Amino acid sequence: MNPNGAIIVQSNLEIMVEVDNPNYTTARDAIAPFTELVKSPEHLHTYKISHLSLWNAAATGLRAPEVLERLDSQSRYPVPPTVVTEIEDYMARYGLLRLKKEGDQLMMESDDKIMFLEICKLRDVEPFIIEHIDDTHVVVDPERRGHLKMVLTNAGFPVEDLAGYTVGDPLPIQLRETTVSGKPFTLRDYQRDAAQVFYASGSEKGGSGVIVLPCGSGKTVIGLATMALVQTKTLILTPNISSSRQWIREICDKTNLTLDQVKEYSGEVKEIGPVTVATYQILTQRKRAKKGDENKEGKEPEMTEEEVKKELANFPLFSQQKWGLMIYDEVHLLPAPVFRLSTEMQATRRLGLTATLVREDHKETEVFSLIGPKKFDIPWRILEAQGWIATADCNEIRIPMDPELKMKYALAPVRDKITLASTNPEKTDIVERLLKYFSKPDDRVLIIGQYIDQLEALSEDLQIPLITGKTPNKEREKLYGAFRSGVQKNLMVSKVGNFAIDLPDANVLIQISGTFGSRQEEAQRLGRVLRPKSDGGAAHFYSIVTQDSKEQEFAMNRQLFLTEQGYAYKIIKRGDWDILMRSPEELAARA
């Protein structure tokens, strides 16, 4: 107990954190490894201790006594006994069950006979057991290793997977000291640490898990460092072709591998090499349906998991190659069919990379089971303070509805209200003001939105090129290249710009609409402008929101992840619009 502590631990496993307390930062960083943010208004932030957050912490080596010591040292009042019991109980469960390899057999074991018997009798677990050896050992189906891990996690008993990994085809990989473009190249300390924590000297303690770092911090480089440690044939999965080609450029620029060894497998190019970079979309592509494959309602018949795999046209890329490492870029976007395929890849080392493990479908538990637990995480503001990502200011500009739109909004069905608010025509004026304000030679402005009609109209009005999902990849690369070089100062993108585009000189992002209350999207979009600037300048994030609408409600949820990272949103209303038209000198005088 600490009279000056910044946290109050509640018996319902929630933790209140006092933002204005001098010890706030220390307390927040102390509890971050084993908690999840729930809400973050101005003065009191609420965190929650969950079973998954405790298991993630246990998987990184954190133990109950250390968790309780952190709570006790930062808490203003004694930690409730029920919380102590819950932490001790659930953290102790991680490692009670273990998967190990004995010869050709996959064994599940435990030191607790009674608990082990109870778990083996569970209806969902029994189908995976091939043979009972004794009271503490059973042989389980090695082909369904991922399914078993998911079932056990959902039952509240996560299994520690110590079965190791198959050896993939060897591939000598070295990191360059000087890039192909002639720039010095060395790993940052946290990049080296993240790769080492994942690899764990090649032991079964490592080899599967997720690295969580902000956009712009060099997660791709961590992937390259991991490849150099594992030295094996590697399959890299990405959200789109642009990000696949970015990976290929980075690999060839910063390692000794050549284009003959690094291949693209996508809708446009289907080549396989020692390192293959594929899109999630191509792996989930179905074979063309035959006539008669639909039922009377015009829908495809329901299929078993095995039938689904047979229907996936490119499944052999997964199953017929001897990969020693798989890298899941933007792992929080992992589509359901790839989840299924990943259950088959449990004998392969698996590295997930993401800026946030938040999933709006709440499938974080599946990521934990199939890809692995969170292995490494650094708060965004720490990297900002160290100069590895740009300093950022976040602003929400709230605009009113005119009388006509207000009436339409009032009479609209709930599902249409968000569209009406998101496409408020008043947003055009704000975008124009911001473009005039950020018009210095070094400014690069990205405008991003959800609704294609809105973007197309704005693109035409402002004469700014637009990239959508329908834009040919050759045209995308041309526009991205023009933006990077400064030939094109302003660029507009649909949600295809949410992730994995490398635009290091973008210093302003204007968000005109988003995907409901998606926190992960908010984090990804801010990440578009967080790469450090060559002039050391700051990044500016503007979200334009219709006041007193569903969009404003969703905006509050979207901000949650970023406020957890320490960013504060400044709210700008009608009376402050002129602030966008003033020079920095005028603003300083006004202040």
Question: pLDDT tens digits, residue range 182-240?
Answer: 999 999 999 999 999 999 988 888 889 999 888 788 899 999 999 999 999 999 999 88
- What is the C-alpha to C-alpha distance for residues 363 and 52, in angstroms, rounded to an integer? 11
Verify that 372 and 391 share a domain, yes or no: no
Residue 239: CB atoms within 10 A of its CB come to 20
- The helix-helix angle for 189-199 and 219-230 (nearest 10°) equals 50
Verify that 21 and 154 share a domain, yes or no: no
3-state secondary structure at position 112: coil
Q: What percent of the chain has pLDDT over 70?
A: 85
- What is the C-alpha to C-alpha distance for residues 410 and 463, in angstroms, rounded to an integer? 33
Verify that 330 and 424 share a domain, yes or no: no
Nearest to 88 by CA among 109, 112, 101, 69: 69
Q: Is 422 contained in some domain?
A: yes
Q: Highest mean pLDDT: which of 44-58, 142-156, 253-267? A: 253-267
Residues contacting 352, CB < 8 A, separation 6+: 209, 210, 211, 327, 328, 331, 334, 367, 371, 372
Verify that 216 and 262 share a domain, yes or no: yes
Any idea which of 2-11, 152-161, 369-378, 566-575 has the lowest mean pLDDT?
566-575
Q: Is 183 contained in some domain?
A: no
For residue 337, how far is the Cα from the chain centroid? 18
Residues contacting 320, CB < 8 A, separation 6+: none
- What is the C-alpha to C-alpha distance for residues 15 and 279, in angstroms, rounded to an integer? 40
Residues contacting 308, CB < 8 A, separation 6+: 337, 340
Q: What is the pLDDT of residues 324-376, one digit of tens each?
A: 999 999 887 776 667 666 666 778 899 999 887 766 566 677 788 788 888 88
Q: Kindly report each contact of residues 96-100 with a partner whose C-beta sits within 8 Å and lies 24 or more positions away, as own/partner.
A: 96/157, 97/152, 97/157, 97/158, 97/159, 97/160, 98/159, 98/160, 98/161, 98/162, 99/140, 99/145, 99/148, 99/149, 99/159, 99/160, 99/161, 99/162, 99/163, 100/162, 100/163
Total domains present in the chain: 4
pLDDT band at 571 (very low <50, low <70, confident <90, very high): confident
Indicate which CATH number applies to the domain containing 121: 3.30.70
More confidently predicted of 492 and 307: 492
Q: Is 2 contained in some domain?
A: no
Choose one of 62, 93, 124: the last residue of a domain: 93
Q: What percent of the chain has pLDDT over 90?
A: 44
Q: Is 177 contained in some domain?
A: no
Q: Does residue 103 come out as left (phi exceeding 0), alpha (psi in the -120 to 50 range) or beta?
A: left
What integer is the mean pLDDT of 265-269? 85
Verify that 552 and 581 share a domain, yes or no: yes
Is there a contact between 40 and 563 (Cβ–Cβ < 8 Å)?
yes
* Burial annotation 407-441 (CB, 10 A radius, 16+ → b, else e): eebeeeeeeebbbbbbbbeebbebbebbbebbeee
Q: Is 166 contained in some domain?
A: no
Verify that 347 and 264 share a domain, yes or no: yes
392-399 and 539-546 beta bridge pairing? parallel
Q: What is the pLDDT of residues 425-445, one digit of tens each?
A: 999 989 988 898 888 888 889
Residues contacting 152, CB < 8 A, separation 6+: 97, 119, 125, 158, 159
Containing domain of residue 114, as a range?
Answer: 106-161
Verify that 58 and 139 share a domain, yes or no: no
- Cα distance between the two ends of the chain: 42
Q: Is 295 contained in some domain?
A: no
Indicate which CATH number applies to the domain containing 407: 3.40.50.300
Q: Is 171 contained in some domain?
A: no
Choose one of 378, 413, 435: the last residue of a domain: 378
Q: Is 196 contained in some domain?
A: yes
Verify that 216 and 321 share a domain, yes or no: yes
- The whole-number pLDDT of residue 317 equals 67
Choose one of 360, 378, 396: the last residue of a domain: 378
Verify that 144 and 193 share a domain, yes or no: no
Residue 453: CB atoms within 10 A of its CB come to 9
Nearest to 515 by CA among 401, 358, 380: 358
The answer to whether residue 298 scores a pLDDT higher than 60 is no
Q: Does residue 298 come out as left (phi exceeding 0), alpha (psi in the -120 to 50 range) or beta?
A: left
Verify that 486 and 446 share a domain, yes or no: yes
Is there a contact between 563 and 519 (Cβ–Cβ < 8 Å)?
no
Dihedrals phi, psi of 109, to nearest 5 degrees: -140, 165
Q: Highest mean pLDDT: which of 5-14, 270-279, 362-371, 522-531? A: 5-14
- β-strand partners of 262: 275
Verify that 442 and 562 share a domain, yes or no: yes
pLDDT band at 290 (very low <50, low <70, confident <90, very high): very low
Q: What is the pLDDT of residues 490-508, one digit of tens each?
A: 999 988 766 656 666 788 9
Verify that 467 and 500 share a domain, yes or no: yes
The answer to whether residue 475 scores a pLDDT higher than 70 is yes
Q: What is the DSSP letter of 525?
A: H
- The whole-number pLDDT of residue 120 equals 95
Sign of CA dihedral 332, 334, 339, 341: negative
Is there a contact between 357 and 212 (Cβ–Cβ < 8 Å)?
yes
- The whole-number pLDDT of residue 394 equals 87
pLDDT band at 304 (very low <50, low <70, confident <90, very high): low
pLDDT band at 44 (very low <50, low <70, confident <90, very high): confident
The answer to whether residue 18 scores a pLDDT higher than 80 is yes
pLDDT band at 316 (very low <50, low <70, confident <90, very high): low
